[in-house]
Each structure stands twice: as C-alpha cells, then as structure tokens.
Structure 1
Amino acid sequence: MNATGDTTWLNWTQYADHGPNESVLGSVAGRRVLELGSGSGSNLAHLVTLGATGQGVDIAPARETAARERWGDLPGLEFHAAEATTFLNETDETFDVVISIFGAVWFVDPDTLLPLIRSRMTPGGILAFSHLPPGSQGPKPANPAKPGLRHDRTPDEWGLTLTRHGFSDVCVSLIDPPEGGTVGTMLVRASAS
C-alpha cells in the first residue's frame, strides 16, 4: 500500500506518493497502454485497475518475472521481457497511451526510439515519460557505443526532438522534490500528431 492506503498508484517521480497522478494521461478507461521499462509493473497495474488494458516491456527478465508474480492475475495486463526497440519492431499492435517512467525513453537513443513509438501509436495518442532533469547527476552523456547511458535533454530539446518525430502539444514540466528530497523530476507529455 502507498501512504494514502491505496493498493495501486502511479508515481511519475522517484519519490513515493509525490507528484501528479494518472490525470496527466486523461481518462485511460478503454484505452490500450504500453509501458516501456515497466519494472515491477505497479504503475501499469494501476492504470489497468482504472479500466485500461496494458502491456509492460522491460529489458530485465527478472523484472518481468517479478511483475508477473505480483500482478499476473489482473485481467487485461501482460508483461514481456524485451528490449524496447525490439518489441516495437516486432509487434503489430497499436497503443493509445505509451508511458516510460525512468525507463526506455531515457536510455534508448530518441532518434531511434521515438519513430518506433510513434509508428505504434493511434492518432491523437499520448506519450508521457519522466526522468531526472538533465545534469542533475553530473555529466554522463549518452553514447551509442556504450548502451545503458542516459539521453538527457533539456525541456526545449525534448520539444524539438518530439516535434521532429511526429508529436505535437509537447508539455514539459519540472516537478520539485518533496521536502527532504534532493533532486526533482522532469515530466514530458506529447500527442501523436
């Protein structure tokens, strides 16, 4: 349970029970949601309890196993162990909402990942992702030769990158940390044009 006693919830930030909730996505009832970097599955499970159907993809087989064990009995929810671009290249499904919370959008080259995400989204669909603000952990630039390094972008850079790859209505917000926290969170939302 979270601090308010709910059994499922959505956390955009690295702090429990902090920041906006799922309303960032609009109503998810009846919508197909894909989470890239689904980890324990808790965020996606929450959206499924609100009426969405969900697929979670995580590169770590152990995370996919843990998510299945915890949430596998929830109807309308599936988990896959796969690298994000491989999954997007191999699926023929489309999604109304794609989320990535400290997940693939931060770790996979946006010029490779964003066109794949866009190709799997319904018109008017929502992409939303969060990660630490650029530079908040010191310099660690992305390097295609060394997978796993993050792809930091400023709010303006995300706006330009997303627009270039077929997204519109880009909104980037910085969420301050809670009292006692040390670093905020960048939350990005865009529509599939």
Structure 2
Amino acid sequence: MQLKELSGQSGVSAASIKYYLREGLLPAGETVHATRAQYSAKHVERLELIQALRRIVGLNIEQIRGLLKMADDGAPRLTVLAAVQRVVLHLDTAAASGDRPTPAADAVVRLRNWPDYPSDARNALNVHLELMESLHIPVTRELLDTYSKAMDDVAGLDIAVTTAPDSVDQLILTAAVGMHMHSQLLLKLLALAQASHAIRRYEEDA
C-alpha cells in the first residue's frame, strides 16, 4: 500500500506517519521509485503500537523509541518486558539506593517463593519500603503476606495474557497497555474496597 492507503488503514495522518519515519519509529517502506514507497501490514501494526503508547499509556517519543529499538534489535522477551514495566510504571524514577536489599522485600520474595533476582521492580520496592520505614509506617509480615498474595494472583493473570502474542510489537502493545490499565484498575478497586469498609464501619455513626 502507498502512504495514503497506510494513513487510511491505520487512522494516522500522513503528516504523523512522515514524522514517525523521520524519527526512526517507523521503518522505511520498500522503495518503488524516488518519490514513492510501498508499506505493509507490519507498518500498520507498528503505527497501532506507537499510537497506543502515546495516547493510552502516555509515553514520550524517547521512551517509545527505546522500546521500539529493543524490538527491532531482537532483544529477549524478558528484557523487553522489563523495559516496558520500567517506563510504564515509572520504575526508572526509583532512587539509586534501591539496589540495596531490604529485609521486608527479602521477606516478600521468600513468602511467595519468587525468584531472588535483581530487577527494577525489586529496586523500586526496596526504595518504597525504606521510605515507609523512615516515616515510621509499620509494614508487618501479615500485611506483606496479604498484599503480596493478592498481587501474585493478579500478576499471574497479567503475564499469561501479555506473553501470548508472537509479534514483539504486539507483545509490547499488550504489555504496556495492560500494565497501565490494569494498575489503574487495581487502584480503583482498592479505592472502592476502602470506601466500602469505611461505610460499613462508620455508617452507624452518621
């Protein structure tokens, strides 16, 4: 298909497509002659991914470029998923001190029998637990057990869905959108649960 057809099929304006081509986010089409190129279904798929990362997840061009480069370079899926998680959940904002293990984080790993493996997620948890400790907010073993059990169940469902696609572009799409929307869903469900418990506890006093 030509540029006009690619625009019509993807719903992305010709100007935006040319911008993505210039920025290296979209691979060049197959040259027909000096002023014309042919595009394929792969270009439609890539445009769908770019639009979702920008509009739904809210990533900037540099963040998108980093993820797409990993896809184009053939990075292992575990590495790609870790990068998606880092930018979507803002784990890259964790302080450098996060690579220092904390007893609470180690306890979670043992409770759930999770791989004792360094990651941005592990670092971010260390940073957060250190912050809670500095604010004298207690994090008991019972609390860690309850929270981590719930998250273990949720994460199992999430990863089963996000690792299904054969295409790396589709893997990034489902992982990024899924992590973003599911994390928001969890927060909204938690808010509703908290509100419901508060209503039960205090409605008689109203």
Q: Is the strand fraction higher in 1 or 2?
A: 1
State TM-score, norm by structure 2. Answer: 0.25
Q: Which has the larger radius of gyration?
A: 2
